[in-house]
Amino acid sequence: MVARKVIDAKKSHGLDQDTIDDLEWKLGYLIGQFGPLELIQIDVARTDGFRDELANRSRVIQKAAAREKPLMETVKGRGGKPYKRRKRPLSNTSINAILKLLSQIMQRAMDYGFVDRNPMKTGERKDRFLPTVKPARTFLEVDELLALLDAAGALDAGARDDRRIGRRAALATLSMTGFRISELCDVRCSRVDLARARFKVADAKTPKGIREVEMTLWNRDELLLHREQRLRDDLPMGADDHFFGTKTGRRRDPSRFSDRVLNRAAQRANKNRAKQGLAPLSKITPHSLRRTWAML
């Protein structure tokens, strides 16, 4: 009950859906571990054990991936359709974020008089949380970005008609607009104004709920090619269909999109660069492309 009140309080503060989804993702771990317990039973020993269990699970996943025998899991996309993907280890930063939410919940329980102390605030912070290393903030130089886009285009060119998902256009858009991956997946065809070179993006922070984002002419050309290709492949491009959608025009799952588009394109680009005697690309995430946009 206290956990749900914390989430409801966050919603009342006007947070966007991505933030709410992140909070509920963390809450899923906490309910899975502490759901059957009374609040008074959540003590220092149990919270430390939970932290260590998450860390151990991540090590097992990392070791399996290092042996090239990755562990798989079945998850549901936003549309409810299940699919398999590689299990993803939690970083110490992610584990600490889950523990931070637990600390907020236990603090609220203290405020309401349900418990006498917050176990996450017992002793030194280093005793309750895992050590973290400041992550490398990567971005792509111009030649690296072009290598990534060429690899993405090659992947689409070699794919079946119903599996051309506009990898090149999608990555070009991420690196030229600063969109988050969820914003890119949300874009519907009616929100892509190619005549005026504008995107219309839903934004709860603006008075009208819509903000306009300019496209560069280069990005516009990439989007035109993507649109023409989808029409030739007889894929949905109606006003309500998603511009970078599935073969039925539905929204792609951002996590799956990141794996199938960004990671595979980066692997292909690195193979090409190795043949040319060039250094591989740094580890790239969707945020790397946002930083590339800021740099450009």
Give residue limits of the domains in the chain. 2-128, 142-295
User: Per-residue pLDDT for 239 more than 60?
Assistant: yes
- d(Cα 242, Cα 187) in Å, to the nearest integer? 6
- pLDDT tens-place string over residues 89-148: 999 999 999 999 999 999 999 999 999 999 999 999 899 999 988 777 889 999 999 999
Q: What is the 3-state secondary structure (H, E, C) of 172-235?
A: HHHHHHCCCHHHHHHCEHHHEECCCCEEEEECCCCCCCEEEEECCHHHHHHHHHHHHHHHHCCC
Instruction: Provide CB contacts within 8 A for 86, sequence distance 6+.
Output: 65, 70, 71, 72, 73, 259
Q: What's the pLDDT at 13?
A: 60
Apex 128 CA angle, 126 and 131, nearest 5:
45
Give the pairing type, strands 82-86 and 72-76. antiparallel
Q: Is the pTM of this model over 0.75?
A: no
- Please give the CATH superfamily to which domain 142-295 belongs: Intergrase catalytic core (1.10.443.10)
Closest CA relative to residue 215, chosen from 155, 258, 172: 172
Q: Is 176 left (phi over 0), alpha (psi -120 to 50) or beta?
A: alpha
Strand intervals (E) in the chain: 72-76, 82-86, 192-193, 198-202, 210-214
Q: What's the pLDDT at 14?
A: 61
Average pLDDT, the chain: 88
* Span 248-255, average pLDDT: 88
Give the pair of three-digit tokens for residue 216: 């560069």
Residue 65: pLDDT band by 50, 70, 90 thresholds?
A: confident
User: Per-residue pLDDT for 39 more than 70?
Assistant: yes
- Whole-angstrom CA distances from 174 to 64, 167, 250, 262 are 31, 11, 19, 10
User: Per-residue pLDDT for 85 more than 80?
Assistant: yes
